[in-house]
Homo-oligomer: A and B are copies of this chain.
Amino acid sequence: MADSNIKQPLLHLPPQTCQNVAPMRRRLRRFKSAPMAEFFPGEINDTKDNQSLPRSDSILDKLHPSFRKVMFYLVIYLAIGTMCFYFVQNQIEGKKVNGVLDSVYFCVVTMTTVGYGDLVPDSTTSKLLASVFVFSGMALVGLVLSEGADYLVEKQETLLIKAMHVRRKVSPSEILKEIETNKLRYKCLVTTVSLVVLMVVGTVFLAKVEKLSTIDAFYCVCSTITTLGYGDKSFSTRAGRIFAVFWILTSTICLAQFFLYVAEVNTEKRRKELVQLVLTRRMTNVDLEEADLDNDGLVGAAEFVVYKLKEMGKINQDDVSLLLDEFENLDVDQSGTLSTTDLTLAQSS
C-alpha cells in the first residue's frame, strides 16, 4: 500500500528546465570537484570513515571497542556475582570444595542457565540473589553473543584460512578476499570446529579428572553446553570446577553462536532466493510507471535500483520518503538534480 505513493510527483518542477540547464552545469562540476577535495581533506576523510569502515591492522582494530566493552561487563558481572555468593556461601547447599571457587562456579553455572543443582541456594536472600543473577546473566550472554563472539570468530577465520593453505604462501590481501566471499561459510566452519574441540576436551576432562565413564562424560558435556544441566553429573572436584568456570562459559556461548550462524545461513539463503526472484521477474509497464521516482517519465539506472531494492524488501517506502524529503531540502533551485550551487545555498541558509 505504501508503494502507491511513488506515483505522485515528489519533485514538482517542469522537467524541461533541468534538461536545458544540465549540460552546462555538468562541465562546471567536473572541473570543481577535484580541487574541492584538496581544500577540505579533513572533512572528506570524515566522510570516508562514515560510509565504509575500512579494515586496518592497527592495535585499535585488535582491541575492537564493543568486544572490550563486553569483556569488561563480563569481568564486572563475575566479580560482583562471586562476591555476593561468597558472602551468602553458608546459605548455599551442596557439595563444596573451596569458598571463592565455589562462588565463581555457582555464578557461571547460574549466568549460563546451566543450573546443575549441585549447589542450590537455601535461604530467601540467596534464592532472590540467584533470581536476579540469572536474569542479568541471560542479558549479558545475549550481549556477548551479539557483540563479542562474532568478533572472535572473525579473528579465527584468518587463522583457519592460513591453516587451510599452509602448503602455499597466501598473502594477507588474498585471505581477506577469501573471507569476504565466503564469510558466513567460514564462520559456521570455525564455530563447528571450536564446538567439536570443546566437546572432546570436555569429555576427556570429565573422564580423566571427574572419573566418569565415557558415556557419562559425553552425556554431561551435552547436558552442559545446551544449558540443560540435569545435575546428576557435574563438576565436583577442585580441578573440575576451575576447568568448568572457563569451559562452561566458552562452550555454551559457542553452541549458541553456532545456532545463530545456522539461522543466519537460512536467512541468507531465503534472501538470495528472493533476490533471484526479483531479478528474474519480468518488468511490466506498471513497474516502469511505479519506478519513476521523480515522475519525469524516465526510469534511470538509480530509479531502477531503488525500485528493485524495495521489491527485495531491503528498503521500504519510509526510507525512501525520508531521503527524498532531504533531497528536496538540498535541491534549493528545484532543478530536480543536485549541484554545487544547491549545496552552497542549502548549507548557508
Q: Is A239 an interface residue (CB 8 A)?
A: no
Known: A29-B285, A113-B226, A285-B37. A319 touches B314 (CB 8 A): yes
Q: Is A287 an interface residue (CB 8 A)?
A: yes
Q: Is A191 an interface residue (CB 8 A)?
A: no
Q: Is A223 an interface residue (CB 8 A)?
A: yes
Complex partner residue of A283 from B52, B131, B338, CB under 8 angstroms: B338
Q: Is A238 an interface residue (CB 8 A)?
A: no
Interface residues of A in 106-165 (CB under 8 A from B): 110, 113-117, 120-121, 124, 127-128, 130-131, 134-135, 138-139, 142, 146
Residues of B contacting A77 in the complex (Cβ-Cβ under 8 angstroms): none
* Partner-contacting stretch, out of A78-86, A240-248, A294-302: A294-302
Write the chain B residue with the least CB distance to A176: B1
Residues of B contacting A327 in the complex (Cβ-Cβ under 8 angstroms): 301, 304-305
Copies of this polypeptide in the complex: 2
Residues of B contacting A146 in the complex (Cβ-Cβ under 8 angstroms): 263
Interface residues of A in 204-237 (CB under 8 A from B): 215-216, 218-219, 222-223, 226-232
Write the chain B residue with the least CB distance to A330: B283
Residues of B contacting A130 in the complex (Cβ-Cβ under 8 angstroms): 219, 222-223, 228, 230
Residues of B contacting A26 in the complex (Cβ-Cβ under 8 angstroms): 15, 296-298
Known: A36-B285, A219-B127. A305 touches B323 (CB 8 A): yes
Interface residues of A in 280-294 (CB under 8 A from B): 281-289, 291, 293-294
A187–B15 Cα distance when bound, in Å, is 45
Residues of B contacting A33 in the complex (Cβ-Cβ under 8 angstroms): 285-286, 288-289
Q: Are A293 and B301 in contact (CB under 8 A)?
A: yes
Q: Is A75 an interface residue (CB 8 A)?
A: no
Q: Is A57 an interface residue (CB 8 A)?
A: no
Q: Is the interface of A mostly helix, strand, loop or mixed?
A: helix
Complex partner residue of A47 from B54, B275, B284, CB under 8 angstroms: B284
A3–B128 Cα distance when bound, in Å, is 54
Residues of B contacting A182 in the complex (Cβ-Cβ under 8 angstroms): none
Inter-chain pairs besides A16-B23, A121-B219, A282-B347, 5 sampled, C-beta below 8 Å: A27-B297, A36-B284, A47-B281, A115-B227, A300-B300
Pairs across A and B, CB under 8 Å, 29 listed: A1-B54, A2-B52, A11-B301, A15-B23, A19-B23, A29-B285, A32-B285, A33-B286, A36-B286, A37-B286, A47-B284, A47-B286, A127-B215, A128-B215, A130-B219, A130-B228, A130-B230, A135-B222, A279-B322, A283-B330, A293-B305, A294-B300, A294-B302, A299-B338, A300-B303, A302-B303, A305-B320, A309-B309, A309-B315
